[in-house]
Structure 1
Amino acid sequence: MHAAVGRLALTAWVAGLGLAGAFPFERRGGQGQKPVPDDYYVSLGPRPYYLIQNMTDGPLKSKLESCENGPFEVTSWSIGHRGGGTLQIPEETVQSTLAGARMGAGILECDVSFTKDRGLVCRHDVCDLHTTTDILLRPELAAKCTRPFTPANATHAASALCCTSDITTEEFTSLCSKMDGFNATATTAEDFQHGVPFFRTELYDTCGQVMTLDSYIELVDSLPGHRNFTPELKTPPAAVPMPFHGYTQAQYARDMIDTFIAHGISPARVYPQSFTPADVYLWLNEYPAWGAQAVFLDEDGDDPANFTTAVNRLPALKASGVNIISPPINYLLAVGGPDNKTVVPSDYAIVAKQAGLEIISWSFERSGPLTRVLADDDYYYSSVAPIMHYDGQMYEVLDVLGRQIGVKAMFSDWSATVTYYANCFGLKGPGH
């Protein structure tokens, strides 16, 4: 075996099966990491090859096969969603972030929530601690939850509601992260911890290391390959009304950017995101260098009755100063072609490009096997689900997004899949 290929294969195996060896870190109050070694290899593991083997023969499959031995490098076209290893590893953790980085993601995400003492931490939802951490197994912290654990009975499912705003930053950093899921039939807090979707795994549910925004910035900034950042400011749910004890959404939006400034991070390396228009316009007005590449997340077309309105407002968003729109992949895809069995760009995609908006989309590898997306009413493939039949079609979908629509980057819960495609077609992503 050629030495370089051997090293890549070995590193891929270690990355897939031996996380402690491939991603060195140590816990120091929930914050510290050892330096990543200089001899750092992008490792993609078997999944991209499985998907390619599952494709229908044709030019796209042949092109992807021709790239099977790389070389593979870090690319900003590949964004680590909730870290980038989320398909198998607890989200918003050191481990998921290092997995996404090892799989070549050039941009890594932290969803930003706030704690009781206004610390900023990485959590996908202000109120998801009951399904993504072990807080319910910590009696002293579980007692602080907005709604304590209630066991299932004959008429009600098991439930709880635990928010980052219920606890201090110090208490948050003492938690262990776990795969997102819960058991609705649970009668104990221990049983409630399970219920992970069948296509994910609890193999790495061994105390995922949570992150503050500060520690996320330090970690990503320490990684080889000049990685960039995409923090998403989370809008709190109704259970956490704003202002929160005087803490306004506007100040929250300022604090997120100010944290990067305090760390000396260039705005050129940061893609701040929000679903809330006021956040994006605050950044455009008060932090113009940061707002210039703010990512306006769009889910306003989820109701089919509103989809046309969402499409029609795209030119106005561009005129208002927004440069990057970020819809889910189903907004960008439609069924068409001469046989009406082909994935094609949607009206949303066409109008966004005509308006001059850059597109970053989400989220690849968030779904289960494509054989089930229609029956399971999967969100991400909803616009093309009737013609999805086998996993190899994932790369057909990604090719429409990448080369026909020309998205600027793609979020993924398993970064290797997107990194492989981007390297094969020379897609560099934002900033290039």
Structure 2
Amino acid sequence: MHWAEFSIGHRGAPLRFPEHTLESYTAAARMGAGIVECDVTFTKDRELVCRHAQDDLHTTTNVVTIPELNAKCTQPFVPAVPSEGKPAQAECRTSDFTLAELKSLQGKTDDVNPMATTPEAYINAGPRPLARGTLLSHRESIRLLKALGVGFAPELKTPVVAMPYEGDYTQEDFARQMIAEYRAEGVPPEAVWPQSFRLADILFWLDQANEFGQRAALLDMDKPTPLNTSLIAMAKLKALGVNAVAAPLWKLLALDDQGHIVPSRYARNARMAGLALLAWTVERSGSLAGGGGWYYQSVAQAINNDGDMFAVIDALAREVGVVGIFSDWPATTTFYANCTGRAGPSRRPFLNIE
């Protein structure tokens, strides 16, 4: 497959490989993703790591099966009591562990058996043996993705711990540290697309690391209202210096009176205001035969088979005009990009927005 920046590996390629692991990132690159995402959070010793959330280690790793580490969890594993209908309990955060401790864990599919009575049964929720993956620090992910020849879409995850962490590690320190690691690894700003759900983070990067902030994407899944989808609201974002927004599929797509998939009011006004658009996430809702679930809610009446995945991607590309699509299985979006001329290192709309 050709290198396609239009195709973005969401957490790597987690439809089959444990998310945010060496194996998942490598698979995404081999499927032709031109950009791969690392969700960035921090450890107890304030090292940055790739995890989708600060508090998901109990569902995405084998931590609860290691007694000495399980004991350090915010909520160590407690077995279910099936006879009383009580589910198992556990909550393990990256901030519960040092980087060295976290690196001793194995990544796994994000799933648990809530009625398990043993740690092993808790993490082995699916019908197949667990695929295991190698966890990465943020710096290790940078080095890996550089070696794979792809770009970077780091998302600064909103911490679940109170900030400042331990009284002196502020949100600004966290945001600054993420960008500093790209600079330290010699990554040019045009190869990085920082993301955050917090507008304050985007504005901080614009002020403190403008060459990176210019490419930052504001993640947005707020429920649409006449106000927040208006051209005025979009123009205000643009005036603040925001150049891109990344939204779920349903927020960018709508149906017209004939039942055809068309750009939403939100998407039309964002484009009119000069904002670049990114979409997330295809390949994350299972079979589309029943309408596609949460990600496809605004176009569910037009979705009835898995082939409609390409109808959605095509609408996002041709009608909405997105510059990139996040996918849990990047091969699908890469295939589309190859077929429609959106692939190849000579076409770089994602990294070069003026």
Deviation track 1:280-337 (CA, whole Å, cap 9, x = no partner) reads 1000000000000001101122xxxx53332122221111100011011110111224
Q: Deviation of residue 202 (structure 1)?
A: 4.5
The reply on whether 1:417 has 2:347 as its aligned counterpart is no
Deviation track 1:102-143 (CA, whole Å, cap 9, x = no partner) reads 000011111001000000000000000000000001111000
Match of 2:268 among 334, 350, 354: 350
Deviation track 1:36-80 (CA, whole Å, cap 9, x = no partner) reads xxxxxx3xxxxxxxxxxxxxxxxxxxxxxxxxxxxxx10100011
Letter in 1 for 2:69: L
* Runs of 4 or more consecutive aligned structure 1 residues displaced over 4 Å after TM superposition: none
Residue 308 of structure 1 aligns to a residue whose secondary structure is: coil
Could you tell me how far apart the structure 2 residues matched to 1:248 and 1:120 are?
14
Give 2:11's aligned residue.
82
Match of 1:230 among 153, 166, 169: 153
Q: Deviation of residue 180 (structure 1)?
A: 0.3
Could you tell me how far apart the structure 1 residues matched to 2:116 and 2:156 are?
32
Whether the 8 Å CA contact 1:179–1:202 is kept in 2: the answer is no
Give 2:204's aligned residue.
282
Residue 106 of structure 1 aligns to a residue whose secondary structure is: strand
The reply on whether 1:382 has 2:305 as its aligned counterpart is no
Q: Deviation of residue 386 (structure 1)?
A: 2.5
Deviation track 1:340-376 (CA, whole Å, cap 9, x = no partner) reads x2211111111111111000111111111011346xx
Match of 1:366 among 284, 308, 330: 284
Residue 362 of structure 1 aligns to a residue whose secondary structure is: strand
Could you tell me how far apart the structure 2 residues matched to 1:356 and 1:389 are?
33
Match of 2:98 among 163, 168, 177: 168
The reply on whether 1:124 has 2:38 as its aligned counterpart is no
Could you tell me how far apart the structure 2 residues matched to 1:367 and 1:137 are?
29
Whether the 8 Å CA contact 2:18–2:131 is kept in 1: the answer is no
Whether the 8 Å CA contact 1:230–1:271 is kept in 2: the answer is yes
Whether the 8 Å CA contact 1:367–1:373 is kept in 2: the answer is no
Residue 285 of structure 2 aligns to a residue whose secondary structure is: coil
Letter in 1 for 2:78: T
Could you tell me how far apart the structure 1 residues matched to 2:110 and 2:156 are?
20
Residue 29 of structure 2 aligns to a residue whose secondary structure is: helix
Letter in 1 for 2:19: E
Residue 298 of structure 2 aligns to a residue whose secondary structure is: coil
Change in CA separation of 1:202 and 1:101 when aligned onto 2, cut-off 3 Å: farther
Q: Deviation of residue 145 (structure 1)?
A: 0.3
Could you tell me how far apart the structure 2 residues matched to 1:75 and 1:386 are?
30
Residue 360 of structure 1 aligns to a residue whose secondary structure is: strand
Match of 1:270 among 182, 185, 192: 192
Change in CA separation of 1:310 and 1:171 when aligned onto 2, cut-off 3 Å: same
Residue 309 of structure 1 aligns to a residue whose secondary structure is: coil
Give 1:207's aligned residue.
132
Give 2:235's aligned residue.
315
Query: Identical aligned pairs, as a percentage?
Result: 46
Change in CA separation of 1:406 and 1:193 when aligned onto 2, cut-off 3 Å: same
Alignment of 1:122-161 (within 5 A): 122-153=50-81, 154-161=84-91
The reply on whether 1:180 has 2:131 as its aligned counterpart is no
Give 2:174's aligned residue.
252
Give 2:20's aligned residue.
92
Change in CA separation of 1:202 and 1:216 when aligned onto 2, cut-off 3 Å: farther
Residue 350 of structure 2 aligns to a residue whose secondary structure is: coil
Give 2:163's aligned residue.
242
Residue 184 of structure 1 aligns to a residue whose secondary structure is: coil
The reply on whether 1:112 has 2:25 as its aligned counterpart is no
- Give the number of aligned pairs: 342
Whether the 8 Å CA contact 1:80–1:411 is kept in 2: the answer is yes
Letter in 1 for 2:133: G
Give 1:295's aligned residue.
217
Whether the 8 Å CA contact 2:215–2:351 is kept in 1: the answer is no
Change in CA separation of 1:315 and 1:195 when aligned onto 2, cut-off 3 Å: farther
The reply on whether 1:189 has 2:112 as its aligned counterpart is no
Could you tell me how far apart the structure 2 residues matched to 1:110 and 1:255 are?
14
Letter in 1 for 2:162: P
Q: Return 5+ residue gaps in structure 2 as ranges.
A: none
Letter in 2 for 1:78: S
Give 2:141's aligned residue.
216
Residue 186 of structure 2 aligns to a residue whose secondary structure is: coil
Q: Return 5+ residue gaps in structure 1 as ranges.
A: 1-41, 43-72
Could you tell me how far apart the structure 1 residues matched to 2:304 and 2:98 are?
47
Give 1:329's aligned residue.
249
Could you tell me how far apart the structure 1 residues matched to 2:216 and 2:294 are?
25
Deviation track 1:160-205 (CA, whole Å, cap 9, x = no partner) reads 1000000000001110000001111111111111335xxxx855x3
Name the Cα RMSD after superposition: 1.4
Change in CA separation of 1:390 and 1:206 when aligned onto 2, cut-off 3 Å: closer
Q: Deviation of residue 212 (structure 1)?
A: 0.4
Residue 226 of structure 2 aligns to a residue whose secondary structure is: helix
Letter in 2 for 1:324: A
Could you tell me how far apart the structure 2 residues matched to 1:308 and 1:165 are?
39
Give 1:402's aligned residue.
317
Q: Deviation of residue 276 (structure 1)?
A: 0.8
Match of 1:430 among 334, 350, 353: 350
